[in-house]
Structure 1
Amino acid sequence: MNLPYFDLTGKVAVVSGGATGIGRGIAEGLAEAGAGIAIVARRLDVCTRACEEIENRYKARAIPFRCDITRSEDIEAMVEGVVQAFGRIDILVNNAGIGGSEKPILEMTEADWDSVVNTNLKAVFMLSKSVVARMVRQGEGGKIINVASIGALIGWPNMSAYCSSKGGCVQLTRVMALEWARYNIQANAILPGYVETPMNTALFAGDIGKKIIKTSIPMKRLARIEEMKGVGVLLASPASSFMTGSAVVVDGGQTCF
Protein backbone atom coordinates (compact mmCIF):
# COMPACT_ATOMS: atom_id res chain seq x y z
CA MET A 1 0.00 0.00 0.00
CA ASN A 2 1.33 3.43 -0.97
CA LEU A 3 0.74 5.97 1.79
CA PRO A 4 2.59 9.12 0.69
CA TYR A 5 1.07 11.29 3.44
CA PHE A 6 3.06 9.26 6.01
CA ASP A 7 6.29 9.41 4.00
CA LEU A 8 9.15 11.24 5.78
CA THR A 9 11.81 10.76 3.11
CA GLY A 10 14.18 13.72 3.11
CA LYS A 11 13.02 14.97 6.51
CA VAL A 12 15.32 15.30 9.54
CA ALA A 13 14.14 14.59 13.08
CA VAL A 14 15.79 15.47 16.38
CA VAL A 15 14.70 13.13 19.18
CA SER A 16 15.74 13.97 22.72
CA GLY A 17 16.03 10.92 24.93
CA GLY A 18 15.73 8.87 21.75
CA ALA A 19 18.18 6.12 22.68
CA THR A 20 15.79 4.16 24.89
CA GLY A 21 12.16 3.81 25.92
CA ILE A 22 9.39 5.84 24.33
CA GLY A 23 11.86 8.06 22.48
CA ARG A 24 13.50 5.04 20.92
CA GLY A 25 10.15 3.75 19.70
CA ILE A 26 9.32 7.08 18.09
CA ALA A 27 12.80 7.42 16.59
CA GLU A 28 12.51 3.97 15.01
CA GLY A 29 9.10 4.82 13.57
CA LEU A 30 10.41 8.02 12.02
CA ALA A 31 13.45 6.21 10.61
CA GLU A 32 11.25 3.48 9.16
CA ALA A 33 9.16 6.20 7.47
CA GLY A 34 12.32 7.55 5.82
CA ALA A 35 13.55 10.38 8.08
CA GLY A 36 17.14 11.02 9.07
CA ILE A 37 17.49 10.86 12.84
CA ALA A 38 19.55 12.81 15.37
CA ILE A 39 19.51 10.99 18.71
CA VAL A 40 20.16 13.34 21.62
CA ALA A 41 21.02 12.41 25.22
CA ARG A 42 23.54 13.12 27.97
CA ARG A 43 25.44 9.86 27.32
CA LEU A 44 27.08 9.73 23.91
CA ASP A 45 27.82 5.99 24.16
CA VAL A 46 24.12 5.16 24.56
CA CYS A 47 23.21 7.46 21.65
CA THR A 48 25.90 5.92 19.46
CA ARG A 49 24.70 2.39 20.09
CA ALA A 50 21.10 3.35 19.34
CA CYS A 51 22.10 5.06 16.09
CA GLU A 52 24.06 2.03 14.94
CA GLU A 53 21.08 -0.24 15.59
CA ILE A 54 18.65 2.12 13.82
CA GLU A 55 20.92 2.43 10.78
CA ASN A 56 21.35 -1.33 10.54
CA ARG A 57 17.66 -2.08 10.96
CA TYR A 58 16.05 0.67 8.89
CA LYS A 59 18.87 1.78 6.55
CA ALA A 60 18.25 5.35 7.69
CA ARG A 61 20.94 7.86 8.52
CA ALA A 62 21.21 8.29 12.29
CA ILE A 63 23.76 10.45 14.13
CA PRO A 64 24.34 10.66 17.90
CA PHE A 65 24.65 13.96 19.75
CA ARG A 66 25.61 14.46 23.38
CA CYS A 67 23.55 17.21 24.99
CA ASP A 68 22.38 18.20 28.46
CA ILE A 69 18.99 19.65 27.54
CA THR A 70 18.87 21.70 30.73
CA ARG A 71 21.86 23.77 29.53
CA SER A 72 21.20 26.37 26.85
CA GLU A 73 24.81 26.30 25.60
CA ASP A 74 24.57 22.54 25.05
CA ILE A 75 21.33 22.97 23.15
CA GLU A 76 22.72 25.62 20.83
CA ALA A 77 25.83 23.54 20.10
CA MET A 78 23.75 20.44 19.42
CA VAL A 79 21.30 22.22 17.10
CA GLU A 80 24.18 23.74 15.17
CA GLY A 81 25.77 20.30 14.91
CA VAL A 82 22.58 18.74 13.55
CA VAL A 83 22.22 21.48 10.94
CA GLN A 84 25.84 21.04 9.89
CA ALA A 85 25.41 17.26 9.61
CA PHE A 86 22.00 17.12 7.93
CA GLY A 87 21.53 20.60 6.49
CA ARG A 88 18.13 21.11 8.12
CA ILE A 89 15.71 20.19 10.91
CA ASP A 90 12.06 19.39 10.13
CA ILE A 91 10.85 17.51 13.21
CA LEU A 92 11.59 17.88 16.91
CA VAL A 93 10.53 15.25 19.43
CA ASN A 94 10.85 16.52 22.99
CA ASN A 95 10.90 13.18 24.73
CA ALA A 96 13.63 13.34 27.37
CA GLY A 97 12.23 13.49 30.88
CA ILE A 98 12.54 12.24 34.44
CA GLY A 99 10.13 11.11 37.12
CA GLY A 100 12.11 12.55 39.98
CA SER A 101 12.03 11.59 43.63
CA GLU A 102 8.66 10.31 44.81
CA LYS A 103 8.07 12.46 47.87
CA PRO A 104 5.05 14.12 49.48
CA ILE A 105 4.93 17.86 48.84
CA LEU A 106 5.79 18.62 52.46
CA GLU A 107 9.00 16.60 52.15
CA MET A 108 10.13 17.90 48.77
CA THR A 109 13.05 20.28 48.57
CA GLU A 110 13.41 23.13 46.13
CA ALA A 111 16.16 21.13 44.41
CA ASP A 112 13.80 18.14 44.02
CA TRP A 113 11.23 20.36 42.33
CA ASP A 114 13.71 22.21 40.11
CA SER A 115 15.34 19.02 38.87
CA VAL A 116 12.06 17.66 37.49
CA VAL A 117 10.60 20.91 36.17
CA ASN A 118 13.86 21.98 34.53
CA THR A 119 14.09 18.70 32.62
CA ASN A 120 10.43 18.07 31.82
CA LEU A 121 9.25 21.60 31.08
CA LYS A 122 11.97 24.25 30.88
CA ALA A 123 14.07 22.08 28.56
CA VAL A 124 11.07 21.63 26.23
CA PHE A 125 10.79 25.41 26.03
CA MET A 126 14.50 25.98 25.41
CA LEU A 127 15.01 23.17 22.90
CA SER A 128 11.87 24.06 20.96
CA LYS A 129 12.81 27.75 20.84
CA SER A 130 16.23 26.93 19.39
CA VAL A 131 14.96 24.43 16.82
CA VAL A 132 11.97 26.47 15.71
CA ALA A 133 14.21 29.48 15.06
CA ARG A 134 15.95 27.24 12.51
CA MET A 135 12.65 26.05 11.06
CA VAL A 136 11.47 29.63 10.60
CA ARG A 137 14.65 30.50 8.72
CA GLN A 138 14.21 27.42 6.53
CA GLY A 139 10.71 28.67 5.66
CA GLU A 140 9.23 25.23 5.02
CA GLY A 141 7.24 24.60 8.19
CA GLY A 142 7.89 21.85 10.69
CA LYS A 143 6.58 19.56 13.41
CA ILE A 144 7.01 19.73 17.19
CA ILE A 145 6.05 16.64 19.18
CA ASN A 146 6.11 16.99 22.96
CA VAL A 147 5.95 13.78 24.97
CA ALA A 148 3.96 14.57 28.09
CA SER A 149 2.08 11.96 30.15
CA ILE A 150 -1.38 11.08 31.39
CA GLY A 151 0.02 12.60 34.58
CA ALA A 152 -0.98 15.88 32.90
CA LEU A 153 -4.62 14.81 33.24
CA ILE A 154 -4.71 12.86 36.50
CA GLY A 155 -2.88 13.33 39.78
CA TRP A 156 -0.61 10.82 41.47
CA PRO A 157 0.35 11.17 45.13
CA ASN A 158 4.02 12.02 45.72
CA MET A 159 4.46 13.06 42.08
CA SER A 160 3.64 16.76 42.33
CA ALA A 161 6.60 18.03 40.31
CA TYR A 162 6.15 15.37 37.63
CA CYS A 163 2.41 15.93 37.16
CA SER A 164 2.86 19.70 37.23
CA SER A 165 5.63 19.59 34.64
CA LYS A 166 3.64 17.35 32.31
CA GLY A 167 0.52 19.48 32.67
CA GLY A 168 2.66 22.50 31.89
CA CYS A 169 4.03 20.70 28.84
CA VAL A 170 0.51 20.27 27.45
CA GLN A 171 -0.29 23.95 27.99
CA LEU A 172 3.03 24.98 26.46
CA THR A 173 2.17 22.85 23.42
CA ARG A 174 -1.08 24.77 22.97
CA VAL A 175 0.71 28.12 23.11
CA MET A 176 3.31 26.87 20.63
CA ALA A 177 0.48 25.86 18.29
CA LEU A 178 -1.01 29.34 18.42
CA GLU A 179 2.25 31.25 18.02
CA TRP A 180 3.78 29.11 15.30
CA ALA A 181 0.75 28.42 13.08
CA ARG A 182 1.82 31.43 10.97
CA TYR A 183 5.02 29.56 10.09
CA ASN A 184 3.20 26.34 9.14
CA ILE A 185 4.68 24.65 12.22
CA GLN A 186 2.35 22.24 14.02
CA ALA A 187 2.89 21.45 17.70
CA ASN A 188 1.18 18.48 19.33
CA ALA A 189 1.63 16.43 22.48
CA ILE A 190 1.58 12.69 23.13
CA LEU A 191 0.28 11.62 26.55
CA PRO A 192 1.41 8.03 27.15
CA GLY A 193 0.17 5.89 29.97
CA TYR A 194 2.27 3.06 31.35
CA VAL A 195 4.78 1.84 28.76
CA GLU A 196 6.96 -1.23 29.28
CA THR A 197 10.58 -0.12 29.42
CA PRO A 198 13.74 -1.58 30.96
CA MET A 199 13.39 0.96 33.80
CA ASN A 200 10.03 -0.34 35.03
CA THR A 201 10.25 -4.05 34.26
CA ALA A 202 10.88 -4.97 37.89
CA LEU A 203 8.02 -2.81 39.17
CA PHE A 204 5.37 -4.30 36.92
CA ALA A 205 6.63 -7.83 37.46
CA GLY A 206 5.87 -7.47 41.18
CA ASP A 207 2.58 -7.55 43.06
CA ILE A 208 2.13 -3.77 43.14
CA GLY A 209 2.75 -3.44 39.43
CA LYS A 210 0.42 -6.32 38.59
CA LYS A 211 -2.30 -4.69 40.66
CA ILE A 212 -1.85 -1.40 38.81
CA ILE A 213 -2.24 -3.17 35.47
CA LYS A 214 -5.28 -5.14 36.62
CA THR A 215 -7.18 -2.26 38.24
CA SER A 216 -6.10 0.80 36.25
CA ILE A 217 -5.69 -0.25 32.61
CA PRO A 218 -8.80 -1.53 30.78
CA MET A 219 -6.61 -3.34 28.22
CA LYS A 220 -4.92 -5.20 31.12
CA ARG A 221 -1.40 -4.71 29.84
CA LEU A 222 1.34 -2.15 29.41
CA ALA A 223 2.02 -0.42 26.12
CA ARG A 224 4.95 -1.77 24.14
CA ILE A 225 7.68 0.62 22.99
CA GLU A 226 6.96 -0.18 19.35
CA GLU A 227 3.38 1.01 19.86
CA MET A 228 4.73 4.55 20.06
CA LYS A 229 5.78 4.39 16.41
CA GLY A 230 2.38 5.01 14.83
CA VAL A 231 1.41 8.12 16.76
CA GLY A 232 4.92 9.51 16.31
CA VAL A 233 4.82 9.08 12.53
CA LEU A 234 1.31 10.53 12.38
CA LEU A 235 2.28 13.71 14.20
CA ALA A 236 5.54 14.07 12.24
CA SER A 237 4.01 13.56 8.80
CA PRO A 238 1.78 15.46 6.35
CA ALA A 239 -1.09 13.24 7.57
CA SER A 240 -1.44 15.58 10.57
CA SER A 241 -1.15 18.84 8.63
CA PHE A 242 -4.37 20.22 10.18
CA MET A 243 -3.63 18.96 13.70
CA THR A 244 -2.03 21.42 16.09
CA GLY A 245 -2.36 22.00 19.81
CA SER A 246 -3.70 18.48 20.26
CA ALA A 247 -3.00 16.18 23.21
CA VAL A 248 -3.11 12.59 21.96
CA VAL A 249 -3.65 10.07 24.76
CA VAL A 250 -2.08 6.62 24.35
CA ASP A 251 -2.94 4.78 27.56
CA GLY A 252 -4.94 1.61 26.91
CA GLY A 253 -8.06 3.35 28.21
CA GLN A 254 -6.66 4.29 31.63
CA THR A 255 -8.02 7.85 31.63
CA CYS A 256 -11.49 6.66 30.59
CA PHE A 257 -12.32 5.78 34.21
Structure 2
Amino acid sequence: MVAPNGARRGKDDHLALPLTAEELAATAKACHQLGAQALHMHVRDDEGVHSLDAGRYRDAIAAVTECAPAMSIQITTESAGLFDVPAQLACLEALRPAAASVSVREMARDAALAARAYAVCAEAGTQVQHILYTPACVAQLQAWYADGTVPQEMRDVILVLGQYATGQPAAPAMLPEFLALIAPLALRWSLCAFGPQEHVCLLAAIKAGGQVRIGFENSLGPEDGASWADNAASVAAFLQQATARGHILAPQTDVPGANLREPT
Protein backbone atom coordinates (compact mmCIF):
# COMPACT_ATOMS: atom_id res chain seq x y z
CA MET A 1 0.00 0.00 0.00
CA VAL A 2 1.29 3.46 -0.84
CA ALA A 3 0.59 6.44 1.44
CA PRO A 4 1.64 9.35 -0.76
CA ASN A 5 0.87 12.47 1.28
CA GLY A 6 -0.57 12.10 4.79
CA ALA A 7 -2.20 14.91 6.71
CA ARG A 8 0.66 17.25 7.55
CA ARG A 9 3.30 17.56 4.85
CA GLY A 10 3.01 19.95 1.93
CA LYS A 11 4.86 21.28 -1.09
CA ASP A 12 7.33 23.05 1.21
CA ASP A 13 8.44 19.62 2.36
CA HIS A 14 8.67 18.12 -1.14
CA LEU A 15 7.45 19.53 -4.45
CA ALA A 16 6.35 16.07 -5.62
CA LEU A 17 4.05 15.49 -2.65
CA PRO A 18 0.56 15.08 -4.17
CA LEU A 19 -2.23 17.29 -2.79
CA THR A 20 -4.91 17.55 -5.46
CA ALA A 21 -7.12 14.80 -6.85
CA GLU A 22 -5.23 14.96 -10.13
CA GLU A 23 -1.86 14.68 -8.41
CA LEU A 24 -3.09 11.76 -6.31
CA ALA A 25 -4.30 10.01 -9.45
CA ALA A 26 -0.98 10.45 -11.25
CA THR A 27 0.90 9.19 -8.20
CA ALA A 28 -1.42 6.22 -7.83
CA LYS A 29 -0.94 5.24 -11.45
CA ALA A 30 2.86 5.45 -11.27
CA CYS A 31 3.03 3.44 -8.05
CA HIS A 32 0.49 0.86 -9.21
CA GLN A 33 2.50 0.24 -12.37
CA LEU A 34 5.47 -0.62 -10.16
CA GLY A 35 3.49 -3.05 -8.01
CA ALA A 36 1.78 -1.04 -5.27
CA GLN A 37 -1.63 -2.63 -4.93
CA ALA A 38 -3.52 -0.13 -2.78
CA LEU A 39 -3.62 3.58 -1.99
CA HIS A 40 -4.01 5.08 1.49
CA MET A 41 -5.81 8.32 0.67
CA HIS A 42 -5.75 11.67 2.43
CA VAL A 43 -7.51 14.64 0.85
CA ARG A 44 -6.86 18.35 1.40
CA ASP A 45 -8.97 21.50 1.26
CA ASP A 46 -8.24 24.49 -0.98
CA GLU A 47 -5.56 25.68 1.45
CA GLY A 48 -3.86 22.28 1.49
CA VAL A 49 -5.15 21.42 4.96
CA HIS A 50 -6.17 17.87 5.88
CA SER A 51 -9.88 17.28 5.21
CA LEU A 52 -12.53 14.64 5.87
CA ASP A 53 -14.94 16.14 3.36
CA ALA A 54 -16.88 13.36 1.63
CA GLY A 55 -17.20 15.33 -1.60
CA ARG A 56 -13.44 15.79 -1.85
CA TYR A 57 -12.99 12.10 -1.21
CA ARG A 58 -15.46 11.23 -3.96
CA ASP A 59 -13.63 13.45 -6.44
CA ALA A 60 -10.24 11.97 -5.54
CA ILE A 61 -11.55 8.39 -5.62
CA ALA A 62 -13.03 9.00 -9.07
CA ALA A 63 -9.76 10.47 -10.35
CA VAL A 64 -7.67 7.59 -9.01
CA THR A 65 -10.11 4.98 -10.30
CA GLU A 66 -9.91 6.49 -13.78
CA CYS A 67 -6.10 6.39 -13.82
CA ALA A 68 -5.56 3.14 -11.92
CA PRO A 69 -8.83 1.17 -12.07
CA ALA A 70 -7.35 -2.00 -10.55
CA MET A 71 -5.87 -0.23 -7.53
CA SER A 72 -7.68 -0.57 -4.20
CA ILE A 73 -8.40 2.67 -2.34
CA GLN A 74 -8.48 3.12 1.41
CA ILE A 75 -9.64 6.44 2.85
CA THR A 76 -8.55 7.64 6.26
CA THR A 77 -10.64 9.04 9.10
CA GLU A 78 -7.56 10.22 11.01
CA SER A 79 -8.15 13.47 12.86
CA ALA A 80 -4.60 14.89 12.63
CA GLY A 81 -5.59 17.00 15.63
CA LEU A 82 -8.30 18.77 13.62
CA PHE A 83 -11.44 16.62 13.84
CA ASP A 84 -13.52 15.08 16.60
CA VAL A 85 -15.33 11.73 16.58
CA PRO A 86 -18.63 13.18 15.26
CA ALA A 87 -16.80 14.49 12.20
CA GLN A 88 -15.09 11.13 11.68
CA LEU A 89 -18.41 9.32 11.99
CA ALA A 90 -20.06 11.77 9.58
CA CYS A 91 -17.36 11.05 6.99
CA LEU A 92 -17.95 7.31 7.22
CA GLU A 93 -21.73 7.70 7.10
CA ALA A 94 -21.64 10.00 4.07
CA LEU A 95 -19.02 8.12 2.09
CA ARG A 96 -19.51 4.45 3.08
CA PRO A 97 -16.14 3.63 1.52
CA ALA A 98 -14.82 0.27 0.39
CA ALA A 99 -11.97 0.57 2.90
CA ALA A 100 -11.00 2.96 5.69
CA SER A 101 -8.28 3.32 8.28
CA VAL A 102 -9.65 4.16 11.72
CA SER A 103 -7.57 5.16 14.73
CA VAL A 104 -8.53 3.19 17.84
CA ARG A 105 -7.27 5.85 20.23
CA GLU A 106 -9.17 8.59 18.39
CA MET A 107 -12.41 6.62 18.38
CA ALA A 108 -11.96 5.97 22.11
CA ARG A 109 -12.59 9.68 22.74
CA ASP A 110 -16.30 8.86 22.41
CA ALA A 111 -17.09 5.19 22.98
CA ALA A 112 -20.77 5.52 22.03
CA LEU A 113 -19.99 7.12 18.70
CA ALA A 114 -17.19 4.62 18.15
CA ALA A 115 -19.73 1.81 18.32
CA ARG A 116 -21.88 3.63 15.77
CA ALA A 117 -18.90 4.15 13.47
CA TYR A 118 -17.98 0.48 13.47
CA ALA A 119 -21.64 -0.46 12.96
CA VAL A 120 -21.86 1.87 9.94
CA CYS A 121 -18.75 0.24 8.50
CA ALA A 122 -20.16 -3.24 9.09
CA GLU A 123 -23.42 -2.29 7.40
CA ALA A 124 -21.62 -0.71 4.42
CA GLY A 125 -19.14 -3.57 4.04
CA THR A 126 -16.24 -1.19 4.66
CA GLN A 127 -12.94 -2.98 5.23
CA VAL A 128 -11.71 -1.35 8.43
CA GLN A 129 -8.01 -1.19 9.20
CA HIS A 130 -7.50 -0.29 12.86
CA ILE A 131 -4.57 2.07 13.49
CA LEU A 132 -2.53 0.96 16.50
CA TYR A 133 0.04 3.41 17.87
CA THR A 134 0.75 2.08 21.35
CA PRO A 135 0.09 -0.85 23.73
CA ALA A 136 -2.94 1.09 24.99
CA CYS A 137 -4.43 0.94 21.48
CA VAL A 138 -4.00 -2.84 21.45
CA ALA A 139 -5.68 -3.14 24.85
CA GLN A 140 -8.57 -0.93 23.72
CA LEU A 141 -9.13 -2.98 20.57
CA GLN A 142 -9.07 -6.19 22.59
CA ALA A 143 -11.66 -4.76 24.99
CA TRP A 144 -13.86 -3.70 22.09
CA TYR A 145 -13.75 -7.18 20.57
CA ALA A 146 -14.80 -8.54 23.96
CA ASP A 147 -17.76 -6.19 24.46
CA GLY A 148 -18.92 -6.21 20.82
CA THR A 149 -18.06 -2.58 19.97
CA VAL A 150 -15.87 -3.86 17.14
CA PRO A 151 -17.21 -6.80 15.12
CA GLN A 152 -15.06 -9.90 15.42
CA GLU A 153 -14.52 -10.06 11.66
CA MET A 154 -12.74 -6.67 11.58
CA ARG A 155 -9.26 -8.13 12.11
CA ASP A 156 -7.09 -5.84 9.96
CA VAL A 157 -4.67 -3.52 11.74
CA ILE A 158 -1.75 -1.27 10.90
CA LEU A 159 1.06 -0.96 13.42
CA VAL A 160 2.69 2.47 13.55
CA LEU A 161 6.38 2.78 14.40
CA GLY A 162 7.73 6.25 15.19
CA GLN A 163 5.77 9.43 15.86
CA TYR A 164 5.28 12.83 14.26
CA ALA A 165 4.31 14.46 17.55
CA THR A 166 7.48 13.58 19.46
CA GLY A 167 9.82 13.43 16.50
CA GLN A 168 10.73 9.85 17.43
CA PRO A 169 11.92 7.97 14.32
CA ALA A 170 11.00 4.35 13.73
CA ALA A 171 13.52 1.56 14.16
CA PRO A 172 13.22 -2.18 13.43
CA ALA A 173 13.94 -2.98 17.09
CA MET A 174 10.51 -1.56 17.96
CA LEU A 175 8.65 -4.23 16.00
CA PRO A 176 9.05 -7.45 18.08
CA GLU A 177 7.41 -5.99 21.20
CA PHE A 178 4.45 -4.80 19.12
CA LEU A 179 4.07 -8.22 17.52
CA ALA A 180 4.12 -9.91 20.90
CA LEU A 181 1.28 -7.65 22.06
CA ILE A 182 -0.98 -8.43 19.12
CA ALA A 183 -0.17 -12.16 18.88
CA PRO A 184 -3.13 -13.31 21.04
CA LEU A 185 -5.60 -11.45 18.81
CA ALA A 186 -4.88 -13.31 15.55
CA LEU A 187 -4.84 -10.12 13.49
CA ARG A 188 -3.94 -9.47 9.86
CA TRP A 189 -1.30 -6.79 10.28
CA SER A 190 0.50 -4.22 8.20
CA LEU A 191 3.28 -1.84 9.19
CA CYS A 192 4.07 1.79 8.54
CA ALA A 193 7.21 3.44 9.88
CA PHE A 194 7.96 7.15 10.26
CA GLY A 195 11.47 8.39 9.60
CA PRO A 196 14.56 7.61 7.54
CA GLN A 197 14.60 3.91 8.48
CA GLU A 198 11.18 3.37 6.89
CA HIS A 199 12.40 0.86 4.31
CA VAL A 200 14.49 -1.06 6.84
CA CYS A 201 11.47 -1.40 9.12
CA LEU A 202 9.26 -2.55 6.25
CA LEU A 203 11.77 -5.23 5.28
CA ALA A 204 11.64 -6.45 8.88
CA ALA A 205 7.83 -6.52 8.65
CA ILE A 206 7.90 -8.72 5.55
CA LYS A 207 10.33 -11.09 7.23
CA ALA A 208 7.94 -11.30 10.21
CA GLY A 209 4.98 -12.12 7.95
CA GLY A 210 3.29 -8.72 7.73
CA GLN A 211 2.12 -6.43 4.96
CA VAL A 212 3.57 -2.97 4.37
CA ARG A 213 2.59 0.64 3.70
CA ILE A 214 5.11 3.00 2.14
CA GLY A 215 5.21 6.61 1.01
CA PHE A 216 5.85 10.28 1.62
CA GLU A 217 3.40 10.29 4.54
CA ASN A 218 6.06 8.34 6.43
CA SER A 219 9.42 9.24 4.90
CA LEU A 220 10.81 11.49 2.18
CA GLY A 221 14.14 9.72 1.87
CA PRO A 222 16.62 7.27 3.37
CA GLU A 223 18.96 8.07 6.22
CA ASP A 224 22.04 7.81 4.02
CA GLY A 225 20.91 9.78 0.98
CA ALA A 226 18.87 12.56 -0.59
CA SER A 227 15.08 12.62 -0.82
CA TRP A 228 13.44 10.34 -3.33
CA ALA A 229 12.26 12.10 -6.48
CA ASP A 230 8.66 11.09 -5.80
CA ASN A 231 6.57 8.36 -4.22
CA ALA A 232 7.14 6.03 -7.15
CA ALA A 233 10.90 6.31 -6.66
CA SER A 234 10.50 5.25 -3.03
CA VAL A 235 8.31 2.30 -4.03
CA ALA A 236 10.80 1.24 -6.72
CA ALA A 237 13.74 1.44 -4.30
CA PHE A 238 11.92 -0.60 -1.69
CA LEU A 239 10.80 -3.28 -4.12
CA GLN A 240 14.36 -3.56 -5.40
CA GLN A 241 15.60 -4.15 -1.85
CA ALA A 242 12.83 -6.66 -1.15
CA THR A 243 13.33 -8.71 -4.31
CA ALA A 244 17.10 -8.71 -3.76
CA ARG A 245 16.37 -10.52 -0.48
CA GLY A 246 14.26 -13.13 -2.26
CA HIS A 247 10.83 -11.77 -1.40
CA ILE A 248 8.02 -12.18 -3.91
CA LEU A 249 5.30 -9.68 -4.81
CA ALA A 250 2.22 -11.87 -4.53
CA PRO A 251 -1.03 -11.45 -6.51
CA GLN A 252 -3.32 -8.72 -5.26
CA THR A 253 -5.69 -9.70 -2.45
CA ASP A 254 -8.25 -7.93 -0.28
CA VAL A 255 -5.74 -7.68 2.58
CA PRO A 256 -4.41 -4.12 2.93
CA GLY A 257 -0.72 -3.79 2.17
CA ALA A 258 1.88 -4.23 -0.51
CA ASN A 259 1.42 -8.00 -0.17
CA LEU A 260 5.04 -9.04 -0.20
CA ARG A 261 5.78 -12.46 1.19
CA GLU A 262 8.76 -14.45 2.40
CA PRO A 263 10.49 -16.68 -0.14
CA THR A 264 9.41 -20.31 -0.11
TM-score (structure 2 length as normaliser): 0.39
Greater fraction helix: 1
* Greater relative contact order (CA < 8 Å, ≥ 6 in sequence): 1
Q: TM-score scaled to structure 1, two decimals?
A: 0.40
